[in-house]
Amino acid sequence: MKLNNLLKTAAFAAATALSLPQAAAAWTPEEPIVLRIGFGAGGETDTMGRVLAATIERQTGWDVVVENRPGGGGVAMLSALVNEAPDGLVLGMAVNIPPLMALSQRPDSVPFTLDSFDYIGTVTVAETALIAGGDAMFSSIGELVEFARREGSAKIAWDAPDAKAILQKIGQQEGVSFRMVKAESGAEMNKLLLGGQVDAAFGTGAHLPFIEEGQMKTIASLSDKRLSSAPDVPTLIESGHDFFIAPYFYITAPGSLPTDAKTALADAMDKAVADEAVQTVVQNAVSAPAVNLGPEGTRQMMQDSLGPIGALFAQ
Is 36 a binder of other proteins (CB under 8 A)? Answer: no
The type of residue at 201 is A
186 in Cβ contact with 203 (< 8 Å)? yes
By DSSP bridging, strand 200-203 and strand 129-133 are: antiparallel
Is residue 298 involved in binding other proteins (CB under 8 A)?
Answer: no
| C-beta closer to other proteins: residue 8 or 182 | 182
Pairing relationship of beta strands 248-254 and 117-125 according to DSSP bridges:
antiparallel
Amino acid (1-letter code) at residue 135 = D
Closer of 208 and 293 to other proteins (Cβ):
208
Please report whether residue 228 would count as binding other proteins according to CB under 8 A.
no
Q: What whole-number distance in Å separates Cα of residue 121 and Cα of residue 52?
A: 12
Of the candidates 83, 185, 228, 303, which one interacts with other proteins according to CB under 8 A? Answer: 185
CA atoms within 13 A on the CB side of 111: 10
20 contributes a contact to other proteins by CB under 8 A: no
CB 295 within 8 A of CB 119: yes
Nearer to other proteins, 73 or 121 (CB): 73
- Out of 284, 303, 304, 314, point to the residue binding other proteins (CB under 8 A): 284
Are the CB atoms for 280 and 288 separated by under 8 Å? no
Single residue of 20, 24, 114, 194 touching other proteins by CB under 8 A: 194
Interface residues with other proteins (CB under 8 A)? Answer: 40-44, 46-47, 50-51, 54, 69-73, 75-76, 79-80, 98, 101-102, 109, 153, 155, 161, 179-185, 187-188, 190-192, 194-198, 206, 208-210, 212-213, 215, 280-281, 284-285
